Chain A
Amino acid sequence: MKIFIERDNKRVRMKFAGRASDLLKKIKINKETVLIIKNNELVDYDEMLSDNDDIKILSVVSGG
């Protein structure tokens, strides 16, 4: 799975299939602070993700 974490401007690759909320737990990101974009579409935190999805984790928190 390709993941882009906006807040850190970081791209990572990892093996994952499961709920979006479980992915966030795995990479230690609080779901209150982000939105999940799967293959360019906004999805809920209980969305099922598969290993070939392209994921963006957008930061919700204002920049200042």
Chain B
Amino acid sequence: MKCRKCSQKTAFSGYCKKHFIEYFEKKVKNTIRKYNLIRENDKVLVAVSGGKDSTTTLYLMKKFYKNVKAIAIDEGIKGYRNYTLDDLKKFCKKHNINLRIVSFQKEFGKSLDTLVKKFNPCSICGTFRRYLLNKYSKGYDVLVTGHNLDDEAQSFLMNVLKNNLALSARLGPSTGIKKRKGFTQRVKPLYFMLEKEVMAYSVIMKLGIRFVECPYAKYSFRGKVRDFLNDYEEKNKGSKEKLVKMFVNMLPKLKKVYQGEVDYCPECGSASSKGICRTCLFIKKI
């Protein structure tokens, strides 16, 4: 098969390598522009794990903007995070990017491998990661994450299945229900890119990412929703994109409805739906 833009052989999605890269980067730039995610002189912090989504995001941010730094969280997952952090350190060295690594062990006194004996891994891990990213992104204009279209479709459907629309109101290309002083805005430039497109970009650009699976991923609700969406997409192409586009259209109304319900944790000041936030509750229990 020939590329839809030239006579070269297709590499992915009907494009040759060169035109797929062009399509991908243009779509990411359009998302940034349309939702006003990042301005030219912003101080940009990219949250990275060493996986394909965040590494691709970091690569693009470094390509598009002048003032870019990276932060990674070391949760303490043996046989997983040590590998991805090694890859990440090499990547940042090669591309001359300042990387800061913050660990659960230093911040909370315990690694995730220890915490899982008492708590659901994904629940405490997600909560602590968000807390640390809030803490260490102060002073930056934006905190950029590698969330893609698949992640967003999964999050929205998970919230539907939990009957929790208020959680969905916090999603979107630019997260949160309302802006708050002291908290860095989170943005998702890969918002409209399919997970397999991100992977194809990282393979073509030889970003050097290997597949390592988190040992706790099998316990997650997200994993089940992801498998369901991929099975449905295989038979009904474009379903994930339709779901996210429909969600983005209703998002402004959703944010308005739930604007009044945002509260802040009396202990740490983070956004919290009711009183003391989940991070502070977990910290009291560990």
- Our pick among A31, A41, A58, A64 for the contact of B234 (Cβ within 8 Å) is A31
- A64 B216 Cβ-Cβ under 8 A: yes
Name the A residues within 8 Å of B84 (CB-CB). Answer: 63
Q: How far is the CB of B111 from chain A (nearest CB, A)?
A: 15
- A62 B1 Cβ-Cβ under 8 A: no
Tell me, yes or no, whether A51 is within 8 Å of chain B by CB: no
Name the B residues within 8 Å of A34 (CB-CB). Answer: 196
**Docked complex Cα distance between A37 and B17 (Å):** 13
- B199 A35 Cβ-Cβ under 8 A: yes
- B204 A42 Cβ-Cβ under 8 A: yes
Name the A residues within 8 Å of B216 (CB-CB). Answer: 64
Tell me, yes or no, whether B203 is within 8 Å of chain A by CB: yes
- B12 A63 Cβ-Cβ under 8 A: no
Q: Which A residues have a C-beta under 8 Å from some C-beta of B?
A: 6-7, 30-35, 37, 41-44, 46-47, 58-64
**Docked complex Cα distance between A43 and B203 (Å):** 11
Q: Which 9 A-B pairs have the closest CB atoms?
A: A64-B214, A64-B217, A63-B213, A32-B230, A60-B196, A60-B199, A44-B10, A32-B233, A42-B11
- A43 B11 Cβ-Cβ under 8 A: yes
Tell me, yes or no, whether B14 is within 8 Å of chain A by CB: yes
**Docked complex Cα distance between A58 and B210 (Å):** 9
Interface core residue of A6, A35, A60, A62 (most chain B CB under 10 Å): A62
Q: How far is the CB of B120 from chain A (nearest CB, A)?
A: 14
- B200 A63 Cβ-Cβ under 8 A: no
- B1 A47 Cβ-Cβ under 8 A: yes
* Chain B, range 45-66, C-beta contacts under 8 Å to A: 51-53
**Docked complex Cα distance between A34 and B234 (Å):** 12
